[in-house]
């Protein structure tokens, strides 16, 4: 295993964190849109 402070490891970890953030935000938006449509607000 490489040093966690290695710049390459940090870059990979940052990319993974950004991907997780995008997935979570997408899920939140999806749940919001579905709930608005089900309530008949759209």
Percent of the chain with pLDDT over 70: 86
Residues 21, 35: Cα–Cα separation, whole Å: 21
Per-residue pLDDT at 28: 98
Query: Are the C-beta atoms of residues 9 and 2 closer than 8 Å to each other?
Result: yes
Domain ranges of the chain: 1-42
Please tell me the pTM assigned to this model.
Answer: 0.69
Tens-place pLDDT, residues 14-33: 999 999 999 999 999 999 99
């Amino acid at each position: 295993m490489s040093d966690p402070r290695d710049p390459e490891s940090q870059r990979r970890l940052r990319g993974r964190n950004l991907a997780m953030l995008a997935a979570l935000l997408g899920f939140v938006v999806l749940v919001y849109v579905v709930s608005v449509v089900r309530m008949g607000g759209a």
